[in-house]
């Protein structure tokens, strides 16, 4: 049995991520999957959801022993977020499905997200296999990302 559903999300910017996630309702609570704390600006996940907000990712680069840049790092643009569902949300999204396959085969994550975003497979060279919604949000199974910026403990 799957104990959590981990997926990676990408949007053009933080505002697009917040907009996308605030329009999708948690099937257990009827609340948006993500809201924003009005005092701190921090993302607040709803029941059964955990978030690791990364933002832009810096890849590569080299520095000498004095901290001088020898090779410029590359910034991967966009707003990157790791998310996972747990507990009763996992049960709701996996009931009756096989444990095998990627997260799109072994869960109903696309059904949850697709209600408002109409996801289609990504077929862009250089982009890992995943799905892109009409909002521009992309979701990926972590298994297809060669070098994740961060991983859950």
Q: Indicate left, alpha or beta for 2 from its phi (over 0: left) and psi (-120 to 50: alpha).
A: beta
List the chain pLDDT tens, one digit each, 153 residues: 678 888 999 999 999 999 988 888 999 999 999 999 999 999 999 999 999 999 888 888 899 999 999 999 888 889 999 999 999 999 999 999 888 888 888 888 888 876 667 889 998 888 888 999 888 899 998 888 876 676 665
Q: Which helix (H) or strand (E) holds 11?
A: strand 4-11
Instruction: Characterize 131-145 residue by residue with b for buried, 16 or more Cβ atoms within 10 angstroms of its Cβ, and e for exposed.
Output: bbbebbbbbbbbeeb
Q: Which helix (H) or strand (E) holds 19?
A: helix 14-22
Q: Are 90 and 5 in contact (CB under 8 A)?
A: yes
Q: What pLDDT, on the 0 to 100 scale, is given for residue 150? A: 67
Which residue is associated with the tokens 């060669």?
Answer: 146
Per-domain residue ranges for the chain? 4-144
Q: Which helix (H) or strand (E) holds 115?
A: helix 109-117
């Amino acid at each position: 049995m799957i104990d959590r559903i981990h997926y990676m999300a990408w949007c053009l910017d933080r505002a697009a991520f917040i907009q996308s996630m605030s329009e999708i309702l948690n099937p257990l609570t009827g609340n948006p999957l993500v809201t924003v704390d009005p005092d701190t600006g921090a993302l607040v996940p709803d029941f059964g959801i955990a978030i690791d907000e990364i933002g832009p990712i810096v890849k590569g680069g080299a520095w000498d022993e004095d901290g001088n840049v020898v090779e410029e790092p590359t910034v991967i643009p966009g707003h990157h977020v790791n998310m996972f569902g747990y507990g009763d949300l996992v049960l709701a999204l996996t009931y009756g499905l096989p444990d095998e396959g990627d997260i799109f085969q072994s869960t109903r994550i696309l059904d949850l997200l697709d209600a408002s975003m109409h996801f289609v497979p990504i077929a862009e060279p250089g982009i890992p296999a995943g799905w892109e919604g009409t909002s521009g949000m992309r979701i990926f199974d972590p298994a297809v990302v060669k070098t994740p910026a961060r991983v859950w403990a």
